[in-house]
Every structure is written in C-alpha cells, then in structure tokens.
Amino acid sequence: MSRTLFGTDGVRGTANVHPMTAELALKLGAAAGRYFRRDQSGAHRVVIGKDTRLSGYMFETALTAGLTSTGMNVLLLGPVPTPAVGFLTRSMRADLGIMISASHNPAKDNGIKFFGPDGFKLSDEAELEIEELVESGVRLTQAANIGRATRIDDGRFRYVERAKQSFPADLTLAGLKVVVDCANGAAYRTAPEVLWELGAEVVPVGVTPNGHNINDRCGSTHVRTAAEAVVSHGADVGICLDGDADRVMILDEHGQVADGDQIMALLASRWAEAGRLAGGALVATVMSNLGLERFLEGRGLRLERTAVGDRYVVERMRSGGWNLGGEQSGHIVMTDYATTGDGLIAGLQFLAAMAESGQPASALARSFETVPQMLKNVRYRAEAVPLEAAGVQDVIRAAEAALVGKGRLLIRKSGTEPLIRVMAEAEDPELLTRIVGEVVGAVEAAAG
C-alpha cells in the first residue's frame, strides 16, 4: 500500500473537500491515537496547535473527538507556530503532536501535520501505518477510558521563552527597528513579543487575523507589503514569516529580499568560523541554487542535497549528524534549537549576525551571486498524469541534453498542491528562458 492521504508535509487540501473534511479528521485522530497508544497502559497525551484559519476550529474539534475516543488526553494550545508544537510535544512528554495548518497556502486550505514524541515529524513508514488504520478502522476504548481535553493557556509563552533562549545572552536588539510580517497567521502575537522583549523597536505587519486573511498579500510568499513598510518606516531589517511561521524571508534596509539560500549561506559561514557547524556541511534540497553550492565549496564546506520537503532535510540532518539545513523557500532547520523549520528563530540568528558584526542587513543578506534560476508552476487536474505523456518526456530529454555542462533542469510534482514545478538553472538567460518555456508548454498541453 502506498500513501494516498499524506503528502510531503502531512495531509493538506481545501477545507470541506476530501481529504480535508471533519469526518476524515475524526478518523485520522482515532487512527493516530490508536497508533501511539498501542500498549494501552499509562496516561497518553497529544498536543494540538493551529494557525488562524477559520476551519481550524472544525478540525481541532474533529481531531479531539477522534483522539479522545481511543483514550488519548488532548492538550489544546490554540494558535501557535508549527515549531512550537514540535518543541512542546517533547517538553510536555506527549506521545504525539499535531499542527493544524496549510502553511503558506490560502485561507480556504488547511492541513494536518503530525509530530512524534521526540518532536520530529513522522516518517513515511509511520504515516503509512496511520493511513492503513484510517482505512481499516480502529477499536475504540471503553467508556470509562475515554480521554479528556484541556486548554493550555501558556503554550505561547513557553515558546516565546524558548525562542529568546536561541539569541545570544550577551546581545540585545536595542537600537534596531524591525518590521515583522506575521502573515495574519500563527505567530501574530509571538513574533512581535519576542522581538520587543529582546529590545527591538517593532513595526508589526499582518497581525490582525480574521480567519480569512492568512497569507493574503502578506507574509513570506508576498513580501511587497513588508518591503514597503521597511522603506516607509526607515527600518533596519524586515522579517517575513508564513502562516504557520516555519519559514522566513529576510528584507534588508532597502526592502530587498534574502531567500532561504542566502540565509543558509550566511549562517553556515558564520557557524563554521565559530566552530559550530557540525560536520562542515549544510543540508538543502535539490531546489537550492547552484550559487549556494559554489559558495560553500569555496569555504571548504559541503552541500548535502535531499528531496524537496523540510521533513526530508531533517531526516538527512539526523542521519548525518548535521545541525543546519533548509530550503530555498525559507524553511531553516537548526537542530540546536528546533526540531523543524523555525522562521522566527532563523530571523533571530540573522539579527544576531547584525548585532555582532555591526553591519547593515544589506551587507549580510547577499553572500553569493545566484546562478540565474527560473521556476514556473503548471496546474493540472487531479486525474491527469502529464509527466507520463510521450511528448512531454521527449521535450524533457531534449532540454536536459541542451543543458549538459551549462546548467540543470528539475521537474517535480508538488507534494501539497496539484502543480507540476518546472525549474531550471543556466548562466545563459536566453537558454534558460527557452528551456523552461518549452517544457512548460509541453506540460500545459498534456495537462489540458
């Protein structure tokens, strides 16, 4: 049996459309409860966090019903960043952590992410077993053993303290004006609180969630709003988070963007100089720019590439004993501080570099020159299989041949949306444009 519910980052889709229905969430809750409560002995607990989507209430309730029906005690955190769930799962000695969020997706979508008792996301094998339990159904507990649900009022504050501990104790953000865009999402209170408590003058953006405006013209996938705020307020730097605050983009004092590759380059070089970069390696995905790889090689460091998805980055980091990794999209994973991507803590590491060096954000936000890269997405119907079309495969083979020694081509299906992602890199911009255009055209024709 192959996984059909889980994608690269949990279960995700449009709310009230399969698989993101209350009925399926109840079954998932029961299946996860049974999976993590196999021994039937002792007290078992699960922590549940969510972002600010309206549908979060529905899924929170449905998951709670399913989990308690198998005897799990549920601890409800309310709106907190995804990394807070990973942290609190381990801190509160829970058997399981769940985050209800569709990350950077629009408000109509939602998702369910699972964390194991160690605070790390579940393996493919564990997700497959949970799917099998959803399919087969689970045995419910006896009435006397039904679990309880409890609201945890200070979960946000526990995470605030955890985030602050990642910032050097001998430094302060006093004198820095920081724009922080919380995407009207899970960190809308947490991030401004952390920055203010560390001494920054904070200009908050995207901190008025209403259930419908998460990621709407704000956050890490729409940095223009924060960039305008940086310039208009004369801020020193901008931090743009996404809906569940597990990814980040940095803006310099001119409103120019530093993506995940540039942030990782800065941290890797500084950590290596300080003797903190475990194994002399950075873990990133196949999407990271070739310029990052060249930058690291020039400093005697290695780039370990993985499949797309921060979960696969973390798995490689753990197997290799490395402590820094991430994605171009802004997931920055620092296992010294967190079990998953943490946009706020990554932002604090950038601010620490500013405070230590006395340099402006613009001097730190561009460590290397990027190789020209182009990414285009092609949406397809769920039943379509455009990459299997003979015409598409012929065009891809021709494109790969044209790029030999000149660049690279990467084509993949999104794990969270019905999209084919076509990415190419080449020093020659004309060749790059032609190659991507030909492949996208062929995929669009096959996708109808």
Task: Dump the DSSP string for 386-407.
Answer: GGG-HHHHHHHHHHHHHTTTTE
Q: What digits encode the pLDDT tens for the residues 218-244?
A: 999 999 999 999 999 999 999 999 999
Task: Taking residues 387-399, report their average pLDDT.
Answer: 92
At how many degrees (to 10) do helices 22-36 and 56-68 cross?
Answer: 40
Question: pTM to 2 decimals?
Answer: 0.90
Domain 258-344+357-364: give its CATH code: 3.40.120.10
Q: What is the mean pLDDT of the chain?
A: 95
Give the separation between CA 294 and CA 283, rounded to whole angstroms. Answer: 14
Token couple for 197: 């408590």
What is residue 195's predicted lDDT score, i.e. its pLDDT? 98
Q: What is the pLDDT of residue 163?
A: 98
Predicted pLDDT of residue 215: 98
- What is the mean pLDDT of the segment spanning 291-310? 95
Span 412-443, pLDDT tens digits: 888 767 889 999 999 999 999 999 999 999 99
Determine the average pLDDT of the residues in 121-134. 94
Domain chopping of the chain, boundaries: 11-153, 158-255, 258-344+357-364, 373-447
In terms of pLDDT, which residue wins out, 41 or 404? 404
Starting at the edge strand that comes first in sequence, how are the strands of the sheet with 257-258 ordered? 201-205, 177-181, 237-241, 248-251, 257-258
Residue 407: the pLDDT is 87
On the question of pLDDT at 42 being above 80, the answer is no
* Rounded CA separation 281/159 (Å): 28
Confidence band of 38 (pLDDT split at 50, 70, 90): low
Are the beta carbons of 198 and 257 closer than 8 angstroms?
Answer: no
How would DSSP label each residue in 191-238? HHHHHHHTT-EEEEES----SS-TTSS-STT-THHHHHHHHHHT-SEE
Q: Is the pLDDT of residue 88 over 60?
A: yes
Distances (CA, A) of 266 to 33, 227, 299, 352: 41, 21, 12, 11
289-311: average pLDDT = 94
- For the segment 109-123, the average pLDDT, to the nearest whole number, is 95
Architecture of domain 158-255: 3-Layer(aba) Sandwich (3.40)
**pLDDT confidence band for 385 (50 / 70 / 90):** confident
Q: Do the domains spanning 11-153 and 258-344+357-364 agree at the CATH topology level?
A: yes
- 103 carries an active-site annotation: yes
pLDDT digits (tens, 9 = 90+) for 167-224: 999 999 999 999 999 999 999 999 999 999 999 999 999 999 999 999 999 999 999 9
Confidence of residue 280 (pLDDT cuts 50, 70, 90): very high
Which residues does 312 contact at the CB level (< 8 Å), separation at least 6? 8, 285, 306
Question: Which of 69, 103, 288, 367 is the catalytic position?
Answer: 103
Q: What is the CATH number of domain 373-447?
A: 3.30.310.50
The pLDDT score that the predictor gives to residue 43 is 76
Examine the pLDDT at 406 and tell me if it is beyond 80: yes
Both tokens of 380, joined, read 């397809």
pLDDT more than 70, % of the chain:
98
| Residue 390 pLDDT exceeds 70 | yes
Q: Do the beta carbons of residue 265 and residue 353 sit within 8 Å? A: no
Can you give the pLDDT at residue 2? 65
**Confidence (pLDDT) at 109:** 98
Q: Architecture of domain 11-153 in CATH?
A: 3-Layer(aba) Sandwich (3.40)
pLDDT of 41 > 60? The answer is no
Q: Which two tokens stand for residue 200?
A: 């920054």
Residue 309: the pLDDT is: 86
